[in-house]
Structure 1
Amino acid sequence: MTATGGPEVLVAQDVPAPRPQPGEVLVRNEAIPVLYPETLVRSGAFPIPIPLPLIFGTQAVGVITEVGAGVDAALIGQRVAVASNGFGTFAELVSVPAESTVRIPDGLPSADAAAVMMSGSVAIPLLETAKLTGTETVLIEAAATGVGGYLTQLAKEYGAARVIATAGGPEKADRAREFGADEVIDHLDPNWPERLREILGGATIDVVFDSIGGESARTVLDLMTPLRGRMLSYGLLSGGFAQVSAMDLVMRGLTLIGCSGADWLAGVAQARGAALERAAAGSLTPLVDRVLPLDQAAHAHQLIEDRAVKGTIILQP
């Protein structure tokens, strides 16, 4: 990443190979997920306190080829998922703390593991936090891709009685239904909350998994169950988090749960192994859009910003 700006700031370059420091492992990457939040970092929407240029990327799947001092050499040859708080994963090799890696289950392809490792591990704590009762109606936004796609796959297992979903366009709507949604609304229509009101027909929504954010979140509040309705806010596909005030919630007797911050991310990290195990067992379908060569990272970012993906783009060195 040479600067903040458009996708073109991601440039392929040769750099010295990293070496593992004490407590670290060196991983030869096989599959690197391209994540929506990373596009916000690249654009400058989320400033980072690290000098540029830097090797971009925060997650990868690969094989441990070398270990630093204090790390068990038996890890060499093990296939792992990698999460890096200091970037560096858009590369053939990355060196990370050994404790930040998670073993990949046997039989799970690297591209599938890379697709599941973030979005799947976000969906699981979201559903656990929601504490669904088995009788409730839920709304899952952007339910055909990313976190929403995994939420839709798992919602009824975790206690949703009725799943209403939003998706962008007919093809994604069909996919959301395949994942388990009972009704699907096209959120490309700016009046989609009115369509939601029609579908409910006087009923209310108990739980909203809000990944769109912005102004639509306030409109949805009027369709939620008073006193026990809860909105889990975790995304900003509209460009900003839910525009909801304390007064909006107090006057309706609703709860908004912010799913972000260090403690939340620690829970996501703890769920990474469970998401990978589910994918290996077949109870969670990995959502891979396409596999591109590593040097097409800029193109991958452009596809994400154009909303032209139906899953995770994987970069392959």
Structure 2
Amino acid sequence: MASAEVIPDTMRAVQVRVPGGPEALELVELPVPACGPGQVLVRAGAIGAGGPDVLIRKGIYKWMPPLPAIPGNEMAGTIAAVGDGVDPARIGQRVLVSSRELPERGGCYAQYIVVDADAPFALPDGISDTEAVSLGNVQLAQAMLLGTNGGLPVRSILVPGAAGGVATALVQLAAHHGMTVIGTASTPAKRAHALAHGVTTLVDGDPAGLPQRVLEATNGRGVDLAFDHVGGMHMKCSMPVRRSASWC
């Protein structure tokens, strides 16, 4: 393993041994993982926190890593060391690690992480570590917004739960492209957040009457695209309000 700095023997990490509430998160001291051939060691500069981390802590994440598990799906930082077969010039490179590119989800609530050399994304100087750990949501939202309508123009979109992280990114992008955004939000604070970030019209999010409320808000036209990250009845009740077959 090649490095340009002194790598400590141990690191701090947050670990879940028994799923549960916030008390299930334990601050532990673990050995710093060593680079194998074709791998890099990334030292954390910023770590993302989001809904999937809560699901890992509860033990119900769809892509649950084996226990004991380290939550965290995004880390931005610096390559501190490289394994055999990796260009030593990469030491010191700023990168973003997304566990969606790794064999297992999680692993980023730690001071260091080892990943395959082709897994991290290089970061430009103009993006800070803190900004970088939110990029995954923006990229996902952009792909959903621009690539899921079969080439047809998207002039309006339905976004239930419009104050969430991914949903906010999608709302901002939709507003930037001049789209009409119909949204739902469950509390006054969330409704204010949604309106401030680009939602055009808020409707009651109760699934039972959602189709009728969206049709009323669009003068009977419905929307071109419906985005669902809630599932269940929201998905079923959003389907009738689409003017095309597009769904994301």
SS in 2 for 1:63: strand
Aligned residue pairs total 227
**Conserved 8 A contact 2:227-2:247:** yes
Matches within 5 A, 1:72-151: 72-84=87-99, 85=102, 86=104, 87-116=106-135, 118-131=136-149, 133-134=152-153, 136-151=155-170
Q: 2:204 & 2:169 partners in 1: Cα distance? A: 18
Larger radius of gyration: 2
The higher relative CO (CA closer than 8 Å, separation ≥ 6) is in 1
2:36 is aligned with 1:15? no
Write 1 or 2 for the structure with the bigger share of helix.
1
2:185 is matched with which residue?
A: 167
Alignment partner of 2:82 out of 49, 56, 67: 67
| SS of match in other structure, 2:26 | coil
Relative to structure 1, is the Cα distance of residues 27 and 141 closer, same or farther in structure 2, using a 3 angstrom cutoff?
A: same
Question: How many Å separate the matches in 1 of 2:209 and 2:124?
Answer: 40
- Cα 1:45–1:76, aligned 2, differ >3 Å: closer, same or farther? same
Gaps of 5+ in 2: 1-15
Contact 1:57-1:88 within 8 A present in 2 as well: yes
Match for residue 229 of structure 1?
245
After the TM superposition, which residues 234-273 of structure 1 pair with which residues of structure 2 at under 5 Å, given as runs? none
- Aligned match of 1:57 in 68, 72, 87? 72
- The change in CA–CA distance for 1:217 and 1:47 in structure 2 (over 3 A counts) is closer
CA apart distance, 1:67: 0.7
Which whole-Å CA distance do the structure 2 matches of 1:180 and 1:215 have between them? 25
Distance 2:159 2:48 in 1: 23
Q: Aligned residue for 1:295?
A: none
Structure-2-length-normalised TM-score:
0.81
Q: Distance in 2 between matches of 1:122 and 1:48?
A: 17
The correspondence for 2:39, drawn from 13, 21, 24, is 24
Amino acid at match of 2:31: P
Distance in 1 (alpha carbons) for counterparts of 2:235 and 2:65: 33
For normalisation by structure 1, the TM-score amounts to: 0.65
Superposed displacement of residue 130, structure 1: 2.1
- Identity of aligned pairs, percent? 34
Check 1:143–1:99 CA distance in 2 against 1; reply closer, same or farther (3 A cut).
Answer: same
